[in-house]
Amino acid sequence: MEFYQEKPRKGVICNYGITDHFKSSYLAVDFVMPLTVENATGMSLLAGVISRGCKAYPQMDLISRYLARHYGASFSINASKAGELEILTFAFTYLDNEYAIDGEDIRGAVIALFKEMVFHPLAENGAFTAEYVEQEKTNLSDKIIGLFNDKRIYSLERCKALMCGDEAFGINEMGDRETLSAFDAHSLYAYFERMMSEAYVVISYVGKDRAHFLGELADGFTDRSDVMPETVVKTAGKLQEIVEPMDLNQSKLNLGFRLGRSALNNGAACRLFNVLYGGSANSKLFMNVRERLSLCYYCSSIIDRFKNVMFVSSGVEASKYEEARGEIEAQLAAVAAGEFTDEELENARVYLIDSIRGFLDSEGALASLMLSGTLRNEMKTPEQEIEDISKVTRSEIVEIAREVTLDTVYLLKGVHNEA
């Protein structure tokens, strides 16, 4: 496994993850912009409109049939956020040529489709197809409203929005409906052109092909700024506690925390802290809130390394909310007081190392490791990540835990039996 990076143009990066582990290859381009409502909405809408067709294949079924014909190649386009960055990703996975039954050039066909989808979207006279834009506006609007359907995700997103109401991080990766309603076929195309010329571009390949062929794709882009937009890191202010009732069987408890300076500067320790505290089935949260006290089925923590924040989520009985919250905070205090055994620390370390080694068997995981390394300007292979994690000490974990501060508590309270 080796990572290799080229910078063929200013602001355009090509990443190669060379590995013999797969019968397939992964090829993607990421457009990276600051997280603003306009970028989140614009990129999310673009994802819908571009997936409808390109000049060469102006309808969705034509694209699907092309992909199927080429041995189940897949294409997806998706907008997401990382810290305070919004990223539009075009991704292809395809079977390597040696497995084609009739000797077809699958790789060549996918690269051709890549160029069509990225550089020649279906547009004329400075506008996308109006009908597609209107339909995709409706679809995106439904999707934004539909966030509500999965209460676990909905409550976590709500907690993020409440905690970071006046920060970019509070913006949903899909944007909002008000901004969406202002887009039309012309303004979306103008937005697309702006993204194509201004966004930081990362092209990635994972597979066994050792020819450095991404330059050919990078040629489609002009020079642009190579300054990565910054994510603003804040400290917690006054604790916010918000309860919203809903007709549900189970309450969803979410706690939003700010991490401190040590977490920001020491990625390996920060991730290890998270695994120890709530990021695995052997964590403090799982072993205590679930296994010891039987308060929930799930209780776990996640961190956003860009934004330097952590969220704990759990599904609990409304009447047990105080008890669950108390235990979640108590377990954090325990880590901060160094109350964890060497065995617990080593278990967390082994768990994290095992996960990272597992990246070697996932093209998507390798690509996202290269992308986040690029965005943070510290590209590391799984082996290098493992080396960093093996060196983390107990006192580094304690230091990270000590600096964690609770910012927001959000309870989506189930009131099903209180009619």
Give just the sign of the alpha carbon dihedral 262, 263, 264, 270.
positive
CA–CA distance, 169 with 229 (Å, rounded to integer): 13
Q: Is 147 strand, coil or helix?
A: helix
Cβ-based nearer residue to another protein, 126 or 245:
245
Q: What is the DSSP letter of 121?
A: B
Q: Is 7 in the site for another protein (CB under 8 A)?
A: no
String marking each residue 85-124 x if it binds another protein according to CB under 8 A: --------xxx---x-x-----------------------
Q: Is 18 in the site for another protein (CB under 8 A)?
A: no
| Least Cβ distance, residue 259 to another protein (angstroms) | 24
Q: Is 360 in the site for another protein (CB under 8 A)?
A: yes
Cβ neighbours for 262, distance < 8 A, ≥ 6 positions apart: 269, 270, 396, 399, 400, 403
| Least Cβ distance, residue 69 to another protein (angstroms) | 5
Bridge-based pairing state of the strands 200-207 and 12-18 = parallel
| Least Cβ distance, residue 168 to another protein (angstroms) | 26
CA–CA distance, 2 with 379 (Å, rounded to integer): 11
Q: Is 143 in the site for another protein (CB under 8 A)?
A: yes
Q: Is 290 in the site for another protein (CB under 8 A)?
A: yes
> Of the ranges 148-156, 171-179, 189-197, 203-211, which one interacts with another protein (CB under 8 A)?
148-156
Cβ-based nearer residue to another protein, 96 or 198:
96
The one among 165, 297, 330, 378 contacting another protein by CB under 8 A: 297
> Of the ranges 14-22, 157-165, 199-207, 223-231, which one interacts with another protein (CB under 8 A)?
14-22
Q: Is 282 in the site for another protein (CB under 8 A)?
A: yes
Q: Is 387 in the site for another protein (CB under 8 A)?
A: no
Q: Is 151 in the site for another protein (CB under 8 A)?
A: yes
| Least Cβ distance, residue 258 to another protein (angstroms) | 28
The one among 41, 315, 328, 366 contacting another protein by CB under 8 A: 315
The one among 5, 80, 139, 368 contacting another protein by CB under 8 A: 139
Q: Is 343 in the site for another protein (CB under 8 A)?
A: yes
Cβ neighbours for 244, distance < 8 A, ≥ 6 positions apart: 158, 410, 411, 412, 413
With beta carbons less than 8 A apart as the criterion, state whether 7 and 220 touch.
no
Length of the chain: 419
Q: Is 222 strand, coil or helix?
A: coil
CA–CA distance, 255 with 258 (Å, rounded to integer): 10
Q: Is 148 in the site for another protein (CB under 8 A)?
A: yes
Q: Is 358 in the site for another protein (CB under 8 A)?
A: yes
| CA distances (Å), origin 227, targets 13, 34, 88, 199, 230 | 12, 11, 18, 10, 9
CA–CA distance, 404 with 262 (Å, rounded to integer): 10
**Identity (one letter) of the amino acid at 74?**
S
Size of the site for another protein (CB under 8 A): 67
With beta carbons less than 8 A apart as the criterion, state whether 121 and 55 touch.
yes
String marking each residue 212-251 x if it binds another protein according to CB under 8 A: ----------------------------------xxxxx-
> To 10 degrees, what angle do helices 342-358 and 382-391 make?
170
36-75: contacts with another protein (CB under 8 A) = 48, 59-61, 64-65, 67-73
> To 10 degrees, what angle do helices 394-402 and 321-336 make?
130
As a whole number of Å, the end-to-end CA separation of the chain is 59
Residues that bind another protein (CB under 8 A): 20-24, 48, 59-61, 64-65, 67-73, 93-95, 99, 101, 135, 138-139, 142-143, 145-146, 148-152, 246-250, 281-282, 286, 290-291, 294-298, 315-317, 343, 346-347, 350-355, 357-358, 360-361, 414
